[in-house]
Structure 1
Amino acid sequence: MVLFVWGGGQTVVLITAIVLDPADLSLDSYQRALVVPVFALLLSVPSIPLVERFGRLTLLRVAGAVSTAGCGIIAAFYFLPSGERAHLGWMVMLGAVVVVLPYVCIVGPISFSYANELLPNKTRALGANMVIMSINFSTFILLKVYPDLQAAVGLGGAFVLHAGVSVVQILFAIFCLPETRGMTLEQIQHLFKGVESRAALPVYAEEEAAVPTEDENEEQGAATPVAAIN
């Protein structure tokens, strides 16, 4: 959920007017603040089948790559000399759209899908509240530190940071998350119970497998030739 907040997409939605301020748009600050959220709303409808059609891990890797590219476009714009930005306002607009696209269509739906799937049944309600609390806390920290972050490294440097978080998202999807597409909640729970039991008792599991069961002893006795017994 920290990656969900700091990947750049939510930042663009929250401070759209600031990000798009250099863009040559015939809009006031209020209208600029609505541009990306409206675009995100329109994108959320056709993206519904994506999570079920493709694997979650594949989509998260693609989303991280797209978000990194979008953050890079915005950062590149703000690293340009101020005199050149007036003619390249489309860059920041393009970068904002590219960043919001994976955030709305992929990262958001999959994050909440994992939250529903991986939380145990007995603590799902409590876990869901903790997930929402963690998102709100991360959002609060993001907005609290952003003025100081902007003053220190500028919006270009801030979006370099967001690009780095998007790269971490790719690595996180490769090495830390399981693929749960097409599995029921019961199958997911059995999957993780099996992993936990194997991790907790590896030696005993091997010893138990090596010791023949009572049924196996009976089968071996039935298969033993009479001459051998004599």
Structure 2
Amino acid sequence: MIINQGDKEDQTNTFNKYAFACAIVASMVSIVSGYDTGVMSGAMLFIKEDLGISDTQQEVLAGILNLCALVGSLTAGRTSDYIGRRYTIFLASILFILGAGLMGYGPNYAILMVGRCVCGVGVGFALMIAPVYSAEISSASSRGFLTSLPELCIGIGILLGYISNYVLGKYLSLKLGWRLMLGIAALPSFVVAFCILTMPESPRWLVMQGQLGKAKKVLMQVSNTTQEAELRLKDIKIAAGLDENCNDETVKLPQKSHQGEGVWKELILRPTPSVRWMLIAAVGIHFFEHATGIEAVMLYSPRIFRKAGITSKEKLLLATIGVGLTKIVFLVIALFLLDKLGRRRLLQISTGGMIIGLTLLGLSLTVVDKSNGNVLWALILSIVATYAYVAFFNIGLGPITWVYSSEIFPLKLRAQGASIGVAVNRTMNAVVSMTFISIYKAITIGGSFFMFAGISVLAWLFFYFFLPETKGKALEEMEMVFTKKSSGKNVAIEMDPIQKV
């Protein structure tokens, strides 16, 4: 039997608590990121009433976060290569504090937009760095679980945003309510900024800086045995272009090609066939995550439920909280399935369920649109279809997008490769959030969800043919996975001999 590099890594089911704690702290920044996304869906109801903004201004306010996150994500890769993964998370926290302060002040639409932009840059940093850090400290056997924690934290943040909408909107005055909804995010950002400084740096980033002694100390903490730590360090040294038998505390790397133009040349201008395949896979999965309509549902769910026949503002916000709870429940389920069922199978199940949910949502909303009075069965079906779509999205496509794109790139290309994926993600997020109202006015709200269902069919086909399985593979082994001549559907996982016994 040929034992691959990744098989050397200890893949026993013993869970490393320190690695889990590090991933939790890194993922806390995603709670703030999710809160900034979720809170705006309900806050816009109050902002429109208080400031008298138009539908177009609402679309811009919703989407500007993602356009600014695009800027943040494109700079986050190089930033994290220069200052480290840990301090990049710290920088994201500072941006959240500044943005939340400006939005909480919010005397007019212009200041609100500036605060939203600052938060957007922070979101771009957070979305890129949290999964990358989690992937780099985890072993192959628990990487799916730990790397999907940021997506779970985003879901928790979105739910907290919805709850904030309901509670503060109900018990506070109009002028104070929405400002506190937006400004309160500064408090957890302070906590994240403090906690982040207690974390260790990514061992893979330390090796890229030639700090082998520090990298070994971190690996000893996040590995279950000394042997596992040594094997992981050996694989990382090989990936960084160092002698695997080098035991110096610090070394000078052969070249700094992981920083600057060399990385972009290897990613975009002259990629190897395996890197090209990785880039297509990362860009594709990030594109389809939002092209299939999740932002329309999460951001505009109050409008969707209003179209379905729910008119009370209080009931609209409660129904929206149900969406957030559904997201959390199925993200938790996904945590435990990612390393058991694998990425590909979950993606296929998830996307198939999304197609059904979107089709039923389009059908029910079309019936409501065409009828004169309220149609009870269509109202019930639209709510059930919305929850079903959110459930299927979050059991697969939602978390896997971030797990997959943060684990497939080679060490020196990982941060900036992941940042390209996040840039595509934020672009599509902005496009959907800034055009959804205009689209449903042009083709009806039911027609817009039929459109998303059609895009989901294309997503299922893309995942089937272009995404190989990565479950159980070491990060240093991904190039082997993506150099196989067979198509994505034939790339199978070789289980570790320990697991086969």
Instruction: Give the superposition deviation at 1:5.
Output: 0.5
1:58-95 Cα deviation digits (max 9, x unpaired): 22111111001000111111221323643121111111
1:59–1:85 CA distance, 2 compared to 1 (3 A) = farther
Q: Which structure has the bigger radius of gyration?
A: 1
The one-letter amino acid paired with 2:439 is L
Letter in 1 for 2:298: V
How far apart are 1:112 and its partner, in Å?
Answer: 1.2
Where does structure 2 lack aligned partners over 5 or more consecutive residues? 1-285, 486-501
Distance 1:51 1:16 in 2: 28
Q: 1:7 aligns with which of 292, 304, 307?
A: 292
- The total of aligned residue pairs comes to 196
Question: What TM-score do you get using the length of structure 1 for normalisation?
Answer: 0.77
What is residue 77 of structure 1 aligned with on the other side? 364
- Provide the rounded CA distance (Å) in 2 between the counterparts of 1:122 and 1:77: 49
1:187 maps to which of 473, 477, 493: 477
Aligned to 1:173: 463
Residue 86 of structure 2 aligns with which residue?
A: none
The residue type equivalent to 1:87 in the other structure is: L
Residues 174-223 of structure 1: CA deviation (Å, up to 9, x unaligned): 1111112222222222233465xxxxxxxxxxxxxxxxxxxxxxxxxxxx
Which of 41, 57, 66 is the matching residue for 2:328? 41
For residues 135-146 of structure 1, the aligned pairs below 5 Å read: 135-146=425-436
8 Å Cα contact 1:23-1:90 kept in structure 2? no
Unaligned runs of 5+ in 1: 196-230
Q: Contact 1:15–1:33 at 8 Å: present in 2 too?
A: no
- How far 1:15 sits from its partner (Å)? 1.1
**Distance of aligned partners of 1:72 and 1:179 in 2 relative to their CA distance in 1, 3 Å threshold:** same
User: Which amino acid in structure 1 is aligned with residue 292 of structure 2?
Assistant: G
Deviation at 1:47, TM superposition (A): 2.3
Instruction: Compute the displacement of 1:43 (Å).
Output: 2.5
- Would the aligned equivalents of 1:72 and 1:163 in 2 still touch at CA under 8 Å? yes
Q: Give the TM-score normalised by structure 2.
A: 0.37
Q: Does 1:87 align with 2:376?
A: yes
CA separation in 2, counterparts of 1:25 and 1:145? Answer: 23
Q: Is the 8 A contact 1:64 1:169 kept in 2?
A: yes
Q: Quick one: distance in 2 between partners of 1:105 and 1:194? A: 28
Tell me: CA distance 1:25–1:37, structure 2 relative to 1, closer, same or farther (3 Å).
Answer: farther
Partner of 2:440: 150
1:218 paired residue number: none
User: How far off is 1:157 after superposition?
Assistant: 0.6
CA deviation after TM superposition for structure 1 residue 164, in Å: 0.8
Provide the C-alpha distance between the structure 2 equivalents of 1:157 and 1:62, rounded to a whole number of angstroms: 24
SS at match of 2:353: helix
Structure 2 vs 1, CA of residues 115 and 59 (structure 1 numbering), >3 Å: closer, same or farther? same
- The change in CA–CA distance for 1:28 and 1:39 in structure 2 (over 3 A counts) is same
Root-mean-square deviation (Å): 2.1
C-alpha contact 1:61 1:169 (8 A) present in aligned 2: no
